[in-house]
Structure 1
Amino acid sequence: MSSRNSSHIPLDLSSCASEPIRTPGAIQPYGMILVLEHGSLTVKARAIARAEVLEAYGDPLGHPIDRVLGGALAHCRPLLDAMDAGTTQFLGAQAIGAHGAHQVLAHRIGEDVIVELEEPVAGEPGSLEDLYPSIRRFLEAIERAPTLAELCDIAATHIRQLTGLDRVLVYRFDEDWNGAVVAEDRNDVLPSYLDLRFPESDIPAQARELYRQNRVRLIADNNYQPVPLVRAAGDAAAPPTDLSPVSLRSVSPVHLQYMRNMGTGASMSVSLLREGQLWGLISCHNQQPRRVPYHVRTACEFIGQILSLQIALKERALGVEQRIARRAIQVRLLARMAGDQDFMAALGRDQHSLLALTESAGAAIVHRGECILHGECPSQPQVMQLVQWLAAQQHEGDLFFTERLPSLWREADAFADVASGVLAISISQVHDSFVLWFRPEVVRTVRWGGDPRKEATGMLTPRTSFEGWKETVRRQSLPWNAVDRDAALELRAAIVDIVLRKAEEMAALNEQLLRSNKELEAFSYSVSHDLRAPFRHIVGYSELLWASASERLNDSEKRFLDTIVESAQSAGTLVDDLLSFSQMGRSTMGQISMDMTALVEDVRHKLDMEYAGRSIQWQVPSLPRVQADPGMLRLVWQNLLANAIKFTRDTPQPMIEVGHQRSDTEDVFFVRDNGCGFDMRYVDKLFGVFQRLHHSDEYEGTGIGLANVHRIITRHGGRTWAEGEVGSGATFFFTIPFATGDNL
């Protein structure tokens, strides 16, 4: 497809997926590029937007880098010589005659070195440091964001403030590469796209791969005239030049027409990656043509990288929490099955856990011709007919799942209201034996940005309608996620090992626990490897910069360095606490009879330094002995007492009371203080990971302590809760169930 931009030329959409977007042979007209041969650094191709540059300095083709553009780039030769393949390097700002200070970047692609000079934008920041206050405000805001949705909202708001563009969207891909707008910040110039979906064909696979490799892309004017890449005579027959990393690279005419149809004169995108894969985009639009300066784009790229890390961290943490909860359910099911040869009856005795294992509305157990139903299910004849169909299907492994069963098997339309979704595990190699879970039809309305059913055929322009188009989705359930599928597979392994093969009960349980430990160890390693090292590098290089250049830095620059170090150290602490939290679920429990009074006094003594110089009134009565793990209970008291000390810091006459009550089945312990308290509207957040009700500037901490308390007490079979009032203190309760004979 030609790179020349002409709105009247028909565009062949059938070839868009294979268009050579990496080698367009042209650039956008906002600067120039020089393609050099790496060995000699001689110019073998060039694209120069302004004819007066050629008039002033002559054609650079065939000349070494030292002699082009009046020798303006001669000092860059050592840096260009040393570049490794596949790297990009910022070479600073360089004045080119009367045309102002150009931002200079160099890209090494194979044996080509591409020098890119981008023209200045009026009023642009002089450096990235000028934008640091805006970046810092973003970092402070995301520290307080408890959910993924709020993270995306914050990013959209801050990037629009940085760029001044009319609309900023956060766009997330689904498993089929359809996109959904999950956050938006805009003025009234462009319409809202919030919650709209866009089909996979809007961003073809090769374009997505380019987004994955290049984090930022800018199209400043949808009607620009491309500047062709002119080659030296000796290179005329060489393969097309790969311009993938070049910011000025010209884009597809189809995309420019797409922008015109959208009513956007300029667009910019920032890629969001999760574990190296494209998660989504921050997509920015402006009604009129507009150039976003280089340093502003760099700041937006930094925000995109931080947002990507936060997305990965929150999704991983949520996934681990969900898996831990499912394993607790699985343990209850296995306990029911222990010692029972009739596993069907054993599973049925805890119907709630069987359904909760995969968050289903119904389940069926089919074994040796017998069928037992639980919850909302198709009839027994329908389930048996489904099992026969499943047994005849060719699917990978011992798991089958779909949220669109009627579209795969016509007979399922008769019971789609209760079983549009099915998740099934095969539990025998000899008989048609299955455990099946069902999810009902969820009728929902999906809003698309234009009708996704319209297909482009022949010589057509891109679609012209972006009006919200509503589609009513029927005969589909909520999808089965990886946690659902893994929970089902782990239960299958337990059934096969414990019941059908009659393996030793403890050996099978240990296998499941080992699998759990390996996954948590892999998570811990991933966090430590992927997150801790970058934070150490930030601290280390900042300290090296301080040591080598502190005498040349002014007070503001020193403060910037201090803030970077403090932020990186804070993030490192968050990672360490998360590792501790994940390890808590893996540690073994050794329960013994222990003196709770002695434990509290010992913990209080070790916390002396926390309140040195303060006068705190303590009330610690005699507490009963309990049956518990002493190391874990020590951590519970340490967290609760340390919190009480911390949150009474500003109280004139602080008082901390440790107390005890007893019910028919458990001991109830509490820690009460008269500190700053909390709003009971947010009590449900207290024991969650990274949940904080006070800003870190007021009270230090990472939000892991109470989550550890909750996990430890839950492992002991107890409960945790809290009561409080703003300005009047708080009380935190936990229970330890009686061991046999304790309540006599």
Structure 2
Amino acid sequence: MATDDLDLNACSREPIHIPGSIQPHGLLLALSDDAAGAAFTLTQASANAGPALRVAVEDALGRPVEEVVRPELAGPLADFLGKRSFPNRPVPVGLTALPSVGMVQILAHAAEDGAVVVELERLTDEANSRLDHVYPRMRETIERLDALNAPADILACAAQEVRALTGFDRVLVYRFDADWHGTVVAEDGNGRLPSYLDLRFPATDIPVQARELYRLNRQRLIPDSGYAPVPILPALNPGTGRPLDLSFSVLRSVSPVHVEYMRNMETASSMSVSILLHGRLWGLISCHHKDPFQVSYALRSACDLIAQILSVRIAAVEDRRDAEHRIALKAIQARLLAAMAQADPFIAGLTEAPDDLLRFAAATGAAVVFEQTCTLVGETPTVREVMGLVSWLAEQGEPEQFETDSLSALHPPAAAFEDKAAGLLAIAVSKLHASYILWFRPEVVRTVRWGGDPRKPERHEPGATRLHPRTSFEAWKETVRHRALPWTLAERETAAELRHAIIGIVLRKAEELAALSRELARSNKELESFSYSVSHDLRAPFRHIVGYAELLQELESDHLSATGRRYLDTIVDAANTAGSLVDNLLHFSQMGRSELTPVSIDMGQLVGEVRETLAPEAVGRAIDWNVGPLPTVRGDPTMMRLVLQNLLSNAIKYTRGREPARIAVGCEDRPKETLFYVRDNGVGFNQAYVKKLFGVFQRLHRNEEFEGIGIGLANVRRAVDRHGGQTWAEGRLDEGAAFFFTLPKADPTKSESAKPESGKPDRAKPELRDPNE
């Protein structure tokens, strides 16, 4: 039969809390009260309950309790039932002797389905069945546990004391990990059974519903794994139509798979007591005996007390350790936030304290990805690999926080760098962009010693294939690969707190930037209006100055001295220059106010047209032009013509004196933009002053050397900015210069006819940045 036919989850679905039977070392009666609550009726009973009844089990069902139970039970039961308030955990009601059974411990509790369950457990050792006899022996045990501080010593002492109290051949303390695998962390034995100390057992050995039952019912005893289950009659409660709930029963029959498991371990009897931390199942005190062996309720209660003391001591140690860890993480978090508050941009504060950033998550590497900028700290994957991780996280719906100790199992490409990042803890720090802080831990190769091969064999049976427990528990070693050390709860929760703090900073910065942006927009609008008004109003006076000066030259030059005529020439030149300045300033202002009209532009053809326009400036010059293939782009033709005209005119101007002058025009295709450049072999410039180049009226050469007014490159930058691109330059004195500008590519997902708000295109973040800004 194919393995696919195997029902791997059948064991985890087994209804172990309603098995419909009990173990034979006791008897069970299930009672329910009538509608008026005046009397109790026997509704169900174990098939072996005859010694507790005056009549046969079948004849006693459905009749009042006081009519059918033996006199030895009538008194204790009447006292218990008369209280009308029943605990949901078994409590001792009394001791009595029954014919053919002997001394029994009477235990009773209220089941989840409303029935009152009375259990009569046989006693094998009457002395150890009395609570007042057992508890004095606990004083020494409690004193020994109180004297210890180290967790390992406390656990070892608990195993020793439980074995001394009960007499089991072997007592284990078994701890669950985050994946519910269990490890034997302490052991005490007499050598009759093999040692399992430090061995690991798979989570499948104790399925989910069994762990939940361990959490609810802290005690379980199986005196003889070879027992034959005793059925409960009738199988269904007549009042509810459901099986009797035995979740808290001390006699509850256990799963056949578990009984088979015990036999495979060569243990005839077992007892377990749960260890709970803050209501969660932490582990078990697990006791085994080679032969059938029964422990009284009083001794089991004493072991339960030891487990509770263990819980308190372990919780104190772990809580103190966790508190110290959280305090340390809080201190690191405070330093990181302080560094962010002082840094500009604020996110850089995280990487300015790299040791704190790594210590915060006990990581060997970290990455800060903010607005497409990636900064690495410590041992990390490459920038490309980190950005691939960020893209993958975004595909998961951009989780606010993500953690794993086995990244390659979720993201297969991570297998290539698991020596640096087998584990990942990531927090999203922006809701607008794919921005994350990521911490990495490398692969830790470990050897795990299992108690037998954890894989369960299959066995063919008529009509089905079902799983059976392992038959061997010899130490079985496994090398665990592709995993990092797991992230602790404190690390995960403190990372979440750091995220909230950073989000707060991001939002506050966004509000501040929005306010500044509004103020800047208002100021720019006022400045543009002012410059437009001033430049427009100044044009007429300068024209008048030039006109009247030229008339004076024409009509009165004979009456002026040579010096006067020279002064007049200077007035005309200065007025013309001032007029040009005003015209260019007016043009610069109009460029910021005008509406973009984007169309398809053949940049190669446009360069050719601009060269024809500038041909008079190159007359008599030897210029070697090298114009590469240029693409068609989308932009405003007037502004693009202005950009190329300024850049080519400058190249012609500043190569004056070079024989030959060399001017190159080309482009580079990029995923999200097109890069254009104009290079020349002219006089160049000092790179230290590159930031002045694109400013209004900024010049790096004297007017006597090269004419100009210093507004052309400012116009270039404004025109490119309006298109969502960037501009920058590179140069060296006497070795030439290169000017670059980028134009974003059109987004195919957006409508061609859709106009950006305020006539401006969407500003896509380019991958290439000006290295000089």
TM-score by length of 1: 0.62
Separation in 2, partners of 1:289, 1:219: 9
Amino acid at match of 1:488: A
Match of 1:325 in 2: 328
Cα displacement (A) at 1:53:
6.3
Cα displacement (A) at 1:210:
1.4
Match of 2:429 in 1: 427
Amino acid at match of 2:64: P
Q: Is the deviation greater in 444-453 or in 145-154?
A: 145-154
Q: Is the 8 A contact 1:65 1:73 kept in 2?
A: no
Q: Is the 8 A contact 2:28 2:49 kept in 1?
A: no
Q: Is the 8 A contact 1:38 1:111 kept in 2?
A: no
Matches within 5 A, 1:698-713: none
Q: Secondary structure at the match of 1:73?
A: helix
Separation in 2, partners of 1:233, 1:472: 49
Cα distance change on mapping 1:15 and 1:272 into 2, 3 Å: same
Q: What do the CA deviations read for 1:79-135 (whole angstroms, capped 9, x no partner)?
A: 214134735432021222464331101122234222111111135425222222432
Cα displacement (A) at 1:242:
1.9
Q: Is the 8 A contact 1:22 1:244 kept in 2?
A: yes
Separation in 2, partners of 1:368, 1:14: 46
Amino acid at match of 2:355: H
Matches within 5 A, 1:293-308: 293-308=296-311
1:242 aligned to 2:249?
A: no
Q: Secondary structure at the match of 1:451?
A: coil
Separation in 2, partners of 1:221, 1:60: 29
Q: What do the CA deviations read for 1:441-500 (whole angstroms, capped 9, x no partner)?
A: 100011222222446571343221222221111111100112111222222233332356
Cα distance change on mapping 1:453 and 1:327 into 2, 3 Å: same
Cα displacement (A) at 1:357:
0.6
Separation in 2, partners of 1:202, 1:337: 49
Cα distance change on mapping 1:346 and 1:55 into 2, 3 Å: closer
Separation in 2, partners of 1:419, 1:154: 40
Cα displacement (A) at 1:370:
2.4
Cα displacement (A) at 1:360:
0.6
Amino acid at match of 2:94: G
Amino acid at match of 1:29: P
Matches within 5 A, 1:114-133: 114-122=117-125, 124-133=127-136
Q: Secondary structure at the match of 1:225?
A: coil
Q: Is the 8 A contact 2:88 2:248 kept in 1?
A: no
Q: What do the CA deviations read for 1:142-185 (whole angstroms, capped 9, x no partner)?
A: 32332433332222111111111111111122222222222211
Match of 2:616 in 1: none
Amino acid at match of 2:179: D
Counterpart of 1:96 (choices 95, 98, 104) is: 98
Cα displacement (A) at 1:395:
5.5
Match of 2:107 in 1: 105
Q: Secondary structure at the match of 1:74?
A: helix
Matches within 5 A, 1:270-309: 270-309=273-312
Q: Is the 8 A contact 2:54 2:69 kept in 1?
A: no
Cα displacement (A) at 1:138:
2.6
Counterpart of 1:475 (choices 458, 465, 482) is: 482
Matches within 5 A, 1:127-166: 127-166=130-169
Separation in 2, partners of 1:447, 1:278: 23
Separation in 1, partners of 2:169, 2:243: 36
Amino acid at match of 2:42: V
Separation in 2, partners of 1:387, 1:452: 36
Counterpart of 2:409 (choices 403, 407, 410) is: 407
Separation in 2, partners of 1:364, 1:420: 15
Separation in 2, partners of 1:55, 1:85: 27
Q: Secondary structure at the match of 2:312?
A: helix
Amino acid at match of 1:440: P
Separation in 2, partners of 1:441, 1:209: 33
Cα displacement (A) at 1:196:
1.7
Match of 1:44 in 2: 43
Counterpart of 2:365 (choices 362, 366, 384) is: 362
Q: Which runs of 5 or more structure 2 residues have no equivalent in the other structure?
A: 1-5, 460-464, 513-773
Cα displacement (A) at 1:186:
1.5
Cα displacement (A) at 1:407:
1.5
Percent of matched pairs sharing the same residue? 50
Cα distance change on mapping 1:356 and 1:69 into 2, 3 Å: same
Match of 1:189 in 2: 192
Q: What do the CA deviations read for 1:370-401 (whole angstroms, capped 9, x no partner)?
A: 222211112222222222222222354x1121
Cα distance change on mapping 1:130 and 1:12 into 2, 3 Å: farther
Q: Is the 8 A contact 1:57 1:69 kept in 2?
A: no
Amino acid at match of 1:229: I
Amino acid at match of 1:345: A
Q: Secondary structure at the match of 1:459?
A: strand
Q: Is the 8 A contact 1:418 1:438 kept in 2?
A: yes
Q: Is the deviation greater in 17-26 or in 455-464?
A: 455-464
1:381 aligned to 2:384?
A: yes
Match of 1:77 in 2: 78
Counterpart of 2:201 (choices 177, 198, 203) is: 198
Separation in 2, partners of 1:232, 1:18: 20
Separation in 1, partners of 2:421, 2:342: 32
Q: Which has the higher contact order (CA 8 A, sep 6+)?
A: 1
Q: Is the 8 A contact 2:236 2:244 kept in 1?
A: no
Cα displacement (A) at 1:214:
1.0
Q: Is the 8 A contact 1:387 1:434 kept in 2?
A: yes
Separation in 2, partners of 1:29, 1:499: 68
Cα displacement (A) at 1:239:
2.6
Q: What do the CA deviations read for 1:172-227 (whole angstroms, capped 9, x no partner)?
A: 22222222222211121111112222222211222122111111000001101222
Matches within 5 A, 1:502-541: 502=509
Q: Is the 8 A contact 2:332 2:360 kept in 1?
A: yes
Match of 2:10 in 1: 15
Separation in 2, partners of 1:205, 1:486: 26
Counterpart of 2:229 (choices 226, 247, 250) is: 226
Separation in 2, partners of 1:93, 1:52: 15
Separation in 1, partners of 2:93, 2:52: 20
Matches within 5 A, 1:568-647: none
Q: Is the 8 A contact 2:29 2:49 kept in 1?
A: no
Q: Secondary structure at the match of 1:125?
A: helix
Cα displacement (A) at 1:232:
10
TM-score by length of 2: 0.60
Separation in 1, partners of 2:330, 2:239: 64
Cα displacement (A) at 1:274:
2.0
Amino acid at match of 1:300: C
Counterpart of 1:438 (choices 435, 440, 453) is: 440
Q: Which runs of 5 or more structure 1 residues have no equivalent in the other structure?
A: 1-10, 506-744
Cα distance change on mapping 1:189 and 1:395 into 2, 3 Å: farther
Q: Secondary structure at the match of 2:363?
A: coil
Q: Secondary structure at the match of 1:72?
A: helix
Cα distance change on mapping 1:151 and 1:394 into 2, 3 Å: farther
Separation in 1, partners of 2:167, 2:41: 40
Match of 1:171 in 2: 174
Separation in 2, partners of 1:148, 1:31: 38
Q: Is the 8 A contact 2:86 2:109 kept in 1?
A: no
Separation in 1, partners of 2:485, 2:181: 17
Match of 1:33 in 2: 28
Q: Is the 8 A contact 2:52 2:73 kept in 1?
A: no
Q: Is the deviation greater in 286-295 or in 12-21?
A: 12-21
Cα distance change on mapping 1:63 and 1:344 into 2, 3 Å: closer
Cα displacement (A) at 1:57:
8.6
Q: Secondary structure at the match of 1:249?
A: coil
Q: Secondary structure at the match of 1:319?
A: helix
State the superposition RMSD in angstroms.
2.8
Amino acid at match of 2:78: R
Cα displacement (A) at 1:264:
0.6
Q: Secondary structure at the match of 1:210?
A: helix
Match of 2:757 in 1: none
Separation in 2, partners of 1:451, 1:395: 39
